Structure 1
Amino acid sequence: MSGACARMWLEMQTDVVRGQTSEERDALVVSARMVNGHWLVLSRYGDDRWRFFGQPTNKQSSQLFIDFSTLPARLRSSMKAIVYRYLRRGREGKKLPSHRSVVKLVGDARPFLLHLDQLGIGRLVDVTPAVCALYVEVCKRHRQRERSARPGAPLNAASLSHRLAVVEALYELSQHTDDAMPSHPWPSTSFSHLAGRSGLETDRREGTTPLMPDEVLTALFQHAWAAVERGAALLDLRDEIEEVARRDGASRYAKPRYLREHGWSGGSEKFNMAVLELRAACYIVVASLSGCRNHELAFVQSGSCYSTPVDPDRPSDAAEVYWWLRSQSTKTDEGHTEWMVPEAAVTALRLMERWARPYQAAIEAEITARQAVDPLDSEITEARRHARAVFLAATPLKGNQVRTVSSSMCNLSLKAFAAKHGITWALASHQFRRKFANYAARSQFGDLRCLREHFKHWAMDMTLGYALNESQEIALYSEIEREIQDIKVEAVGSWLKPDEPLAGGYGRNIMAWRATAPVALFKSHAQMVRCLADSTGIRSNGHAWCTASDNQCVGNDIEPTRCADCDHAVVGRRHAPLYRGLYDHLKEVTDRDDIGPSGQALVQRDRQRCRSVLAALGQDPEEA
């Protein structure tokens, strides 16, 4: 059957199974995929397991299918009808779900279905609001397992919300089946209210990704970059060993002997571990410098980096370049997209391209072998999706089959890398994106220290970079803007604390203003903080918060003490150590006799400015 005919046939299938015979229903095609130009049915309605495809390549095989045999037997047929409807039409007013969302719906529904089964309920038509109210109480009493991140703790609001939201989804979707829930699960309220999430500010970071501390990222990146710098030599040795094995044959002693002869003293096992750790090191470098999500890095293929000149009119041998990384993003349906990256990320990715060659060759060999046995084997198409990826791994339990590293395996390797280097932070791949956004936001405020050299022009003018390429992932820019807003809110929140001492002209004005009980103008203190943060231009120059409309003031660079009296400056206790250090250095300069009267006058002026700042912050500049 041709691709067009197959698609038309699939589209003509019924969207509901209500009223159909079991034979008609079980013959419906649930999923099919193209293999070598032919459509191959993967799953039919009557199958206990529905297989899907096209999900991000970082998903484990268990996330690529629905196994209805794991659900209570008397509720399976109802769930099949619900899932089929969801797959074909989605939910009211929403777009069609991805296969990932379909699999997730069943996973989220399983606790509720088990709850019904324990109550002896085998049909959704028998589910009443009282049964659903009992489920809410069961969920609230639930405690996390011992092996979880929070053993013994109750479900947080986000997790509880997921468990309850699916009940509303089952109610809505079941209306198109032969087993419809008779009424809304909680007629007078909603799942969000029951989960304790109603009334929350839409931008509140509840259950958010934890922000990795600076010292953790600094240590991780340093160790990872050191591994990247050693990587070429390590891969040279790996490739030489493989060449010797091909040429002379392999024995159990050949590899250890070759390693010893070429300066490797750790043995074969440690060598293999070092090669695997190189993958984690490259991931850390690229994730730290790109802000890509885990599945976006999983989609990265060989040859994904390219450069464009900053100034097209300059000679090519002298032009500074922007580096770009091509990949795919499914999070916001952006599809093929690009990210601006510094050259250090390109170095790590090109090392990964070389690292991945033996694994890519193994996938090509698998494809060839499968085609020889069955040209319509559905795994051929799946293998091709991974064939040029760079973050690859072999699975011993599947005969060393090579596929893209799953998100869970990636997290295990990252945790192992961190533990090896004495880093106790609970590291996970999704933390790099928020940390990247936080660093990029802080660079606008002048606080970027670690990795600044790697960011180069990117950190200096991000807006320009995003304007250069329409394919760039704009969602990342939005996350950076959100981090900027969080930093501003945090700064303004500290300014408006009743007992917080402030220096600088703007700081003194804030202290006078907050003494007039300005909260009366706002609904709450939180609203006051956010309104002021939104309406005030704020950036850090390292020694003060500057609220000026431009950054042309010399107080931002060559004359930092000017901020002591500037009407646009706020100096807080976080800046006190800098002014104390500056005061002490100026005191040393005062004793010199070679700076002349004008030099002495400048020193005395700056010392007085530092003294006034420290005094305003409640510190004695003469104390040790």
Structure 2
Amino acid sequence: MKPRLAETPVLLGWAEAPLSPWSRFGDDEWLLDIRTAGRRADQNRISWAVELPEGAVISRTAWRGLHQAAKQFLWSMTTNPPTGRQRLSPSSVHNKSSALKTMIRWMALDGLETFSSIDAGAVERLRAWLLVRPGYKAKSITANTVVNYMIVLKDLYRQRAKLDDAPLADPLPHETTYEAAGLTPATRGSIPFIPDAIAISLLNTALQWVEEHGQTIVRAETIRREAWALGLTRGARRQCSYHARKALRRANLIGPAGEALLGAYAVRHAANHLVEACYIVIAGFVGMRVSEILSMETGAVDYHPIGETGVAQAYLVARLFKTVDQHGGRVERWIAPEPVVKAVELLEQLSASLREASGRRELFLVKNTQYGEIVPVTQMHIGWRVNDFARHVGVPMHEGKPWAFSSHQFRKTFARFIARRDRSQLFGLAEHFKHASVAMTARGYVGSDFDLRQLIDHESRAETATALDRILLSDRLAGRMGERIVVGNARFRGRAGEQVRRDYIEFVLTETDLRIHACDYGWCVFQAETSRCGGEEGPSEAGRSPSVCLSCANLVIEPRHAPYWRDRRDRNSDLLSRANTMTAAVLTEAIEQCDTVLNRVGEHDEQV
């Protein structure tokens, strides 16, 4: 008689298979070997020894059986996943286990004792239960979260031949996991980029903290720490604050807001906020992920020569965790501009005492207030601290409310600014980075980060769609390309042309490689064969200028750009009164150019 699948040797031995150096798949307590920087300790541990929930209508034996089946499923996905799928990483095991444990809780309340009893009706009940279940901060869970449960259900069915207990019929026979979760292109959403005004305010303020106030705060913190240590040597802890205040008064240092750094409390808070400013500068001007930034250790800045120029380029050395197979991440390098190098230097100084006390090498460390242990900063903690810094420095409100920052928003915002190549919105990166052009900044920063290149391409497409929509709607455009467009874009305007315009934009994005690039005085509908700036794949930042672009067939100027041209005209008019004959001719030509542009776009009707 042929043995049942569950009796084959591979299945009999699954519970003894090692999950990590400390745990087996059959254990009720899993300790996972996850080395991604910034994870909390509880995100590396899974407990399967869970009591039956109140209101459960299944037996304890069935309850234990469901958890055993869940562990076996995770074993199968880790050692022998479906064709075309990667094996689960330890962090993915943790994520899947959370979904499974929640699903099993629902099954106990619903009366389902095995995964094999899940049918289409059960899927509907699970979906309805999930949608009314409270999520993060008491809000309802999102459709994106429901997708995770639908994927687990589908994978249980796909792995049924390898499991003792699994759905016997396809739980989602007529729809995808996204459709089953109610997730459509309209509802899916995405991580937002930081609005321009808020991003500029936050990054400029963080830069000021790093470049103008960083050394003062480090000096104040060093004085406080040394005075505190002196107080301890004299045997009276209550004297520590006295010694710190006395030393700080003698130093008479001033903080970023003009406040006197006279007390231990004020200095500690300034030092904490400086750490946050350093993180913001790195995240905003390099585009690294939070796990990569938090993995940085002492000696994170590395210099390499640029060809035979004799010039050395600074790089950040950190670990890349996503998309790599190496356990503990792969060491990678990111180009580091001058402000970022300064931020890392400050972090090394600020973390020196914590590193010395703990024997650790990370730059982002914190003393756990509950246990007094020095531990690495977690991703959740740094997210909270960034929001605290924004509140402290008074970042502008967004639509009447504080903007809720998350770590990945910086990466997306960085990608968006690079994709736009707008000099006024790139915060003068070329100047800060000492690069010859913003184009060099864009190319250098993307490097070998394929995920970031994809994100930049996505943002470039979105910017092109936005620009096309504005241009095709406008009846007042300047620039040689703008004048050509405005003659023939009547069919795209008004309610009747809305669908025609959408279809045309979709065609441009999917069937052509056209990209529209922003600058502070217009749009470049880039075509290499007509480019006057010499750009090959996009406009050359070194070669473009208002005068060059006005003679180029690629330029479009719309009413929103009128303030730039008005300001340019006024500045040249001021210079004209005291210019010599030769200079006056150049200035007069520039003024006439500005007047021509302003007449075409409607000088007094610029759009915001």
- TM bracket (short chain): 0.7 to 0.9
Amino acid at match of 1:582: R
Q: CA deviation at 1:614?
A: 2.5
Q: Which residue of 1 aligns with 2:599?
A: 615
Shift in CA distance, 220/585, structure 1 to aligned 2, threshold 3 Å:
closer
Q: In the TM superposition, what is the alpha-carbon distance from 1:259 to its structure 2 partner?
A: 2.5
Aligned equivalent of 2:382: 410
Moved more, 546-555 or 608-617: 546-555
**CA deviation after TM superposition for structure 1 residue 339, in Å:** 0.5
Mapping 1:246-265, distance limit 5 Å: 247-263=233-249
What displacement does 1:116 show? 1.6
CA deviation digits over 1:398-422, x for unaligned, max 9? x222221111111122122111122
Residues 431-580 of structure 1 mapped to structure 2, 5 A cutoff: 431-443=409-421, 447-457=425-435, 459-462=438-441, 465=444, 472-497=448-473, 499-515=474-490, 524-531=503-510, 534-536=512-514, 538-546=516-524, 547=526, 549=528, 550-552=531-533, 560=546, 563=549, 566-580=552-566
Aligned-residue offset at 1:603? 5.5
Conserved? CA contact 2:46–2:94, under 8 Å: yes
Separation in structure 1 between the aligned mates of residue 390 and residue 541 of structure 2, nearest angstrom: 41
2:373 maps to amino acid? Q
Q: CA deviation at 1:133?
A: 2.1
Q: Is 1:307 paired with 2:303?
A: yes
2:18 aligns with one of 10, 22, 30: 30
| Match 1:90 to one of 56, 70, 81 | 81
Q: Quick one: distance in 2 between partners of 1:343 and 1:593?
A: 39
Q: Please state how far the C-alpha of 1:129 moved relative to its aligned partner.
A: 1.5
The answer to whether residue 195 in structure 2 is matched with residue 195 in structure 1 is no
Structure 1 residue 109 corresponds to structure 2 residue 67:
no
Identity, % of aligned positions:
22
**Once the 2 structures are TM-superposed, how far is the Cα of residue 246 of structure 1 from its aligned partner?**
6.3
Aligned equivalent of 1:390: 363
Distance 1:475 1:484 in 2: 14
Letter in 2 for 1:108: A
Query: How many Å separate the matches in 1 of 2:31 and 2:113?
Result: 26
Change (3 A) 1:456 1:491: farther
Query: Aligned to 2:189, which of 207, 218, 223?
Result: 207
Aligned with 1:55 (options 31, 35, 54): 35
Query: How many residue pairs are counted as aligned between the two chains?
Result: 554
Q: 2: CA distance between counterparts of 1:587 and 1:496?
A: 33
1:500–1:158: structure 2 CA closer, same or farther, 3 Å change rule?
A: farther
Alignment check: 8 A CA contact 1:228 1:281 kept: no
Supply the distance in 1 between the matched residues of 2:417 and 2:172 (Cα, whole angstroms): 44
Shift of 1:542: 2.6
Asked whether 1:326 is paired with 2:342, we answer: no
Go from structure 1 to structure 2 and tell me whether the alpha carbon gap of 1:428 and 1:207 turns closer, same or farther (over 3 Å shift): same
Structure 1 residues 241 and 222, CA gap change in structure 2 (3 angstroms): farther
Residue 186 of structure 1 deviates from its aligned partner by 1.9
More divergent stretch after superposition (231-240 vs 350-359) = 231-240
1:67 aligns with 2:47: yes
| Structure 2 equivalent of residue 270 of structure 1 | 266
Contact 1:564–1:610 (8 Å) recurs in 2? no
Deviates more, 1:132-141 or 1:510-519: 510-519
Deviations 1:356-379 (A, max 9, x none): 222223333xxxxxxxxxxxxxxx
Deviations 1:553-592 (A, max 9, x none): 89998973575565322111221112233344556667x4
1:221 and 2:227 matched: no
In structure 1, runs of 5+ residues without a counterpart are 1-15, 34-41, 365-386
| Alignment check: 8 A CA contact 1:323 1:342 kept | yes
Backbone CA RMSD of aligned residues: 3.6
Q: Secondary structure at the match of 2:375?
A: strand
3-state secondary structure, aligned to 1:178: coil
2:480–2:554 Cα contact (<8 Å) kept: yes
Instruction: Name the CA shift for 1:20/1:249 in 2 (closer, same or farther; >3 Å).
Output: farther
Q: Answer yes or no: is 1:19 the counterpart of 2:7.
A: yes
Shift of 1:260: 2.7
Looking at structure 2, the residues matched to 231 and 174 of structure 1 have their Cα atoms a distance apart, in angstroms, of 60
TM-score by length of 2: 0.80
Task: Tell me, yes or no, if structure 1 residue 335 matches structure 2 residue 330.
Answer: yes
Q: 1:187-243, CA deviations, whole angstroms, 9 ceiling, x for partnerless residues? A: 122212223446x4xxx9943222112332333234433252433313421442355
Of 420, 433, 442, the match for 2:392: 420
Specify the SS of the correspondent of 2:421: helix
Query: Partner residue of 1:127?
Result: 118
Supply the distance in 2 between the matched residues of 1:234 and 1:490 (Cα, whole angstroms): 48
Q: Report if the CA contact (8 A) 2:33-2:44 is conserved.
A: yes
Change in CA separation of 1:393 and 1:555 when aligned onto 2, cut-off 3 Å: closer
Indicate how the Cα distance of structure 1 residues 300 and 205 shifts in structure 2: closer, same or farther if over 3 A, else same: farther
The one-letter code of the counterpart of 2:7 is: G
Distance 1:485 1:205, change over 3 A: farther
The residue type paired with residue 595 of structure 2 is R
- Please list, as runs of the form range in 1=range in 2, the aligned pairs for 1:139-150 lying within 5 A after superposition: 139-142=130-133, 144=135, 147-148=137-138
Q: Given that residues 548 and 568 in structure 1 are in contact (C-alpha distance below 8 angstroms), is that contact kept between their aligned partners in structure 2?
A: yes
Superimposed CA distance per residue, residues 5-36 of structure 1 (whole angstroms, 9 cap, x where no aligned partner): xxxxxxxxxxx993389x97696143343xxx
Aligned partners of 2:463 and 2:416: how far apart in 1?
Answer: 9
What corresponds to 1:384 in structure 2? none
1:6 corresponds to: none
Aligned equivalents of 1:102, 1:427: Cα separation in 2: 28
- Tell me if structure 1 keeps the 8 A contact 2:303–2:315: yes
Question: Are residues 89 and 587 of structure 1, via their aligned partners in 2, closer, same or farther at CA, if it must alter by over 3 Å?
Answer: same
Shift of 1:300: 0.7
Question: Offset of 1:541 from its aligned partner?
Answer: 4.4
3-state SS in 2 of match to 1:244: helix
Question: What SS does the aligned partner of 1:430 have?
Answer: helix
Distance in 2 separating the partners of 1:400 and 1:609: 67
Whole-Å Cα distance in 1 between the matches of residues 352 and 46 of structure 2? Answer: 33
Amino acid in the other structure paired with 1:219: S
SS in 2 for 1:524: helix
Q: How far 1:480 sits from its partner (Å)?
A: 2.9
For residue 132 of structure 1, report the CA deviation from its aligned partner: 0.8
1:111 deviates by 3.4
1:445-482 deviation per Cα after TM superposition (whole angstroms, max 9, x unaligned): 67423544223317341476369x7xx53433443333
SS of the residue corresponding to residue 485 of structure 2 reads: helix
- CA positional deviation for 1:266: 4.8
Look up the equivalent residue of 1:294 and give its one-letter code. V
Deviation of the 1:43 alpha carbon: 1.8
Alignment of 1:232-243 (within 5 A): 232-241=218-227, 243=229
